[in-house]
A and B are shown apart, each in its own frame.
Chain A
């Protein structure tokens, strides 16, 4: 069974204090790993897709990386507007549905 865990559960940063969020996964053949951002009461917003170990994607202050067992979402010099819950999901070879992790709740203080 495909499984996804995320750490930490919650993270508080000062504005400008860079950090990383972790997504660890167990899957029977990875077809894709997906990062989403979710604001309270809103639908998840797609950020990145990663397909193979060593791949990296960047968007503004966010950079996602992938290894064979985990993915990291690096946040460089975060701003208060980066405060949200960050979700990762995997799609395995034997499933057509995403398995989502529980998310990391990020708060960036001014």
Chain B
């Protein structure tokens, strides 16, 4: 158990809908990262927050957004969902701005 929690574990929704994924980092970690992992692709970095502020952006679509709250938990919002958004979404956390990241169990999103 990494200490990173993610909810929900599974999510099934229809195209065009909007969903919110939630992540709580390990105690004491200030950075939160979001990744997408599709069947035919590796881990793709989406976005990083550090102590409430956006620090780095990867291959994140404009339909996706994220935020980190004062209690350091983070939410990833996915809107206008398409079939291709079906994937595993992982959250990771680290103590500082960089360094080893500890991953949560993931949220499996299925868009039908």
Contact = CB atoms under 8 A, between A and B. Distances in A.
Interface of A: 31-32, 34, 36, 41-46, 49, 87, 89, 91, 95-103
Interface stretch (B14-22, B61-69, B70-78, B94-102): B94-102
25 contacts: A31-B98, A32-B98, A34-B100, A34-B101, A41-B108, A43-B2, A43-B103, A44-B103, A46-B2, A46-B100, A46-B103, A49-B99, A87-B43, A89-B43, A91-B98, A91-B99, A96-B48, A96-B97, A97-B48, A97-B58, A98-B33, A98-B45, A100-B43, A100-B45, A101-B42
B104 interface: yes
A45 B105 CA distance: 10
Contact of B33 (A36, A97, A99): A97
Nearest to B46: A97
Interface in B41-59: 42-43, 45, 48, 55-56, 58
Contact of B101 (A31, A41, A98, A102): A98
A97 B56 contact: yes
B25 interface: no
Contacts of A45: 2, 103
Contacts, number: 58
A42 B106 contact: yes
Given A96-B56, A97-B45, A44 B90 contact: yes
B88 interface: yes
A25 B4 CA distance: 28
A98 B33 CA distance: 10
Nearest to A34: B100
Nearest to A103: B42
Contacts of A89: 43
Contacts of B97: 96
Considering residues A43, A46, A87, A102, which has the most beta carbons from chain B within 10 angstroms of its beta carbon? A43
Nearest to B88: A41
B43 A44 contact: yes
Q: Which 9 A-B pairs have the closest CB atoms?
A: A43-B103, A100-B43, A96-B56, A97-B45, A102-B42, A44-B103, A97-B56, A43-B105, A43-B106
